């Protein structure tokens, strides 16, 4: 097959989105919709991606930096005009140009690979991806001749009554022979209801020149859906989520209630894990096998080992090794690492800390900026006091230490291996290994004080 270059149209503002954010940057399934398109293009074998930017060009360029080349469409004068902006980058290229829309996040790379392969096999001048829609309103109609060959595409505003009755629509996705594309682009005009340069006119020009214009029909029209409003954005989100959940279940993951479970496309979950309702799994999260996640758990870009139980937990940008139990009401903040066998109980927050194997933080504690060894027991109400108002400092708790309840460890401080800290202490100095640290006032009782107060 010839080499493949894509031109992704991402210049539009998306007026119906009513947003200051470029339409193509609105997320679906945890990623900007244009990122989904770019990922699909790469899967299909693109050797180069060109993105046409316009409204919010700086934001789009920053979001996709290093993944593509960018050309500016300063004035939006139609899809044909948008592709013309890539002319300089395409003139020396001899191969297949695939034109994609940046607002079609449900596209799969497998479908684009099929379109590319069939285009090359037919040695076509152009091949359009079509779909059959129950309600084709708003879409350009694919017009075929008596033999079923594509003769052109008519935009809805320019279509006749007979043409409007056609349910096969143009998805806005094409493959072109690069030289045929550039030659035909030089012939299109803006003599239409919109006063724009339609890329669809290229197909009519090629057909009139008796060039081969092919078509590939998408098996599922939802996959080609363009997003133009917040309502459609929600529909795409729902469709992508259902597709992801189905794939996970088919690969051995139990999802108790798919309707109340939200999992990004980029999340990976191993078999025999059970996901309870009202769980959000986002970003580059990886979850091992035999886990129990949820209910009411949110995990963002975290690595979770095997046989982990997390319920009523918010974890983001952290690592949880195998055989860990956490919850309920636990917050695991960035750069937290819970080692194998750790137990974290209710109302605990851990931040920027390493907790060693088989250590326990049962309840009502804040562990921040801490290096904790193995088999440490943290009593209820313990706080590692890491901030003096200007700088943050670290606390070290070595193996087998026992920290009594309602203890403040004022960093920087070290509690040595096997040491004990008495309940209610505020520790400001290091506690040597095997020592008992006590830092509280001696109790004194004033007899008859209550009676005198009366």
User: What is the radius of gyration, based on Cα positions, of the chain?
Assistant: 30
- Does 235 count as an annotated binding residue? no
Q: How many residues does the chain have?
A: 454
User: Rounded to an integer, what distance in angstroms lies between the CA atom of residue 173 and that of residue 139?
Assistant: 13
Which pair of tokens denotes residue 401?
């230490």
- Does 395 count as an annotated binding residue? no
363 carries an active-site annotation: yes
Which pair of tokens denotes residue 152?
């052109």
- Does 252 count as an annotated binding residue? no
- Does 9 count as an annotated binding residue? yes
Q: Which of 36, 119, 311, 363 is catalytic?
A: 363
- Does 180 count as an annotated binding residue? no
Q: Quick check: 224 and 129 in contact, CB under 8 A?
A: yes
User: Rounded to an integer, what distance in angstroms lies between the CA atom of residue 365 and that of residue 346?
Assistant: 9
- Does 78 count as an annotated binding residue? yes
H-helix segments, 29-129: 33-44, 57-63, 79-84, 87-90, 109-122
3-state secondary structure of 428: coil
- Does 404 count as an annotated binding residue? no
- Does 42 count as an annotated binding residue? no
- Does 356 count as an annotated binding residue? no
- Does 377 count as an annotated binding residue? yes
Q: Which helix (H) or strand (E) holds 247?
A: helix 230-250
- Does 390 count as an annotated binding residue? no
* Residue 47 DSSP symbol: S
- Which residues on neighbouring strands pair with residue 153, listed in sequence order? 142
- Does 86 count as an annotated binding residue? no
Other Cβ atoms within 10 Å of 123 Cβ, number: 10
What contacts 97, CB < 8 A, 6 or more positions away? Answer: 5, 6, 7, 90, 175, 176, 177, 178, 181
Please name which of 401, 399, 397, 361 lies closest in space to residue 382, comparing C-alpha atoms.
361
Q: Is the dihedral of CA 136, 141, 142, 144 positive or negative?
A: positive
Which pair of tokens denotes residue 320?
């949880």
- Does 243 count as an annotated binding residue? no
Which pair of tokens denotes residue 413?
């401080």
- Does 11 count as an annotated binding residue? yes
Backbone conformation region of residue 103, classed left if phi is above 0, alpha if psi is from -120 to 50, else beta: alpha
User: Rounded to an integer, what distance in angstroms lies between the CA atom of residue 39 and that of residue 337?
Assistant: 31
Tokens 């001048």 correspond to what residue?
A: 125
Distances (CA, A) of 412 to 235, 392, 404, 433: 52, 9, 19, 17
- Does 386 count as an annotated binding residue? yes
Other Cβ atoms within 10 Å of 295 Cβ, number: 18
- Does 387 count as an annotated binding residue? yes
- Does 49 count as an annotated binding residue? no
> Which parts are annotated binding residues?
9-12, 23, 73, 78-79, 103, 140, 155, 170, 228, 333, 351, 366, 377, 386-387, 423, 440
Residues with a catalytic annotation lie at 363
* Annotation: binding site for Mg(2+): 103, 228
Binding site per annotation, positions for UDP-N-acetyl-alpha-D-glucosamine: 9-12, 23, 73, 78-79, 140, 155, 170, 228, 333, 351, 366, 377
């Amino acid at each position: 097959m010839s080499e493949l270059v894509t031109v992704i149209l991402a210049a539009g503002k998306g007026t119906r989105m009513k947003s200051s954010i470029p339409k193509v940057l609105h997320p679906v399934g945890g990623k900007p919709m244009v990122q989904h398109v770019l990922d699909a293009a790469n899967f299909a074998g693109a050797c180069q991606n060109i993105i046409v930017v316009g409204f919010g060009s700086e934001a789009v360029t920053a979001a996709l930096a290093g993944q593509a080349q960018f050309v500016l469409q300063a004035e939006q004068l139609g899809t044909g005009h948008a592709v013309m902006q890539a002319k300089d980058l395409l003139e020396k290229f001899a191969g297949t140009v695939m034109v994609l829309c940046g607002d079609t996040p449900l596209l799969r790379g497998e479908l684009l690979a099929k379109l590319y392969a069939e285009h090359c096999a037919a040695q076509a001048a152009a091949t359009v991806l079509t779909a059959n829609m129950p309600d084709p309103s708003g879409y350009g109609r694919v017009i075929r001749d008596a033999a079923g060959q594509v003769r052109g595409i008519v935009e809805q505003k320019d279509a006749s009554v007979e043409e409007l009755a056609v349910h096969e629509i143009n998805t806005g996705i094409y493959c072109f022979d690069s030289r045929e594309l550039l030659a035909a682009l030089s012939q299109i005009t803006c003599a239409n209801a919109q006063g724009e340069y339609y890329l669809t006119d290229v197909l009519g020009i090629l057909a009139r020149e008796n060039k081969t214009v092919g078509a590939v029909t998408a098996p599922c029209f939802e996959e080609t859906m363009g997003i133009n409003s917040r309502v459609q954005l929600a529909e795409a989100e729902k469709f992508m989520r259902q597709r992801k959940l189905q794939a996970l279940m088919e690969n051995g993951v139990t999802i108790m209630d798919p309707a109340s479970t939200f999992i990004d496309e980029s999340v990976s979950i191993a078999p025999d894990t059970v996901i309870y309702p009202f769980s959000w799994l986002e970003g580059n999260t990886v979850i091992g096998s035999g886990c129990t996640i949820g209910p009411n758990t949110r995990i963002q870009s975290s690595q979770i080992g095997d046989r982990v139980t997390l319920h009523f937990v918010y974890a983001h940008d952290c690592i949880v090794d195998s055989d860990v139990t956490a919850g309920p009401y636990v917050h695991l903040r960035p750069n937290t690492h819970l080692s194998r066998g750790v137990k974290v109980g209710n109302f605990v927050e851990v931040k920027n800390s390493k907790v060693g194997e088989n250590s326990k933080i049962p309840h009502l504690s804040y562990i921040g900026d801490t290096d904790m060894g193995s088999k440490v027991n943290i009593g209820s109400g313990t706080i590692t006091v890491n901030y003096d108002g200007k700088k943050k400092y670290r606390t070290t708790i070595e193996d087998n230490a026992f920290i009594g309840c309602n203890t403040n460890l004022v960093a920087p401080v070290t509690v040595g291996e096997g040491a004990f800290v008495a309940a209610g202490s505020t520790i400001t100095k290091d506690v040597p290994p095997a020592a008992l640290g006590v830092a509280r006032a001696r109790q004194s009782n004033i007899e008859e004080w209550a009676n005198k107060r009366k």
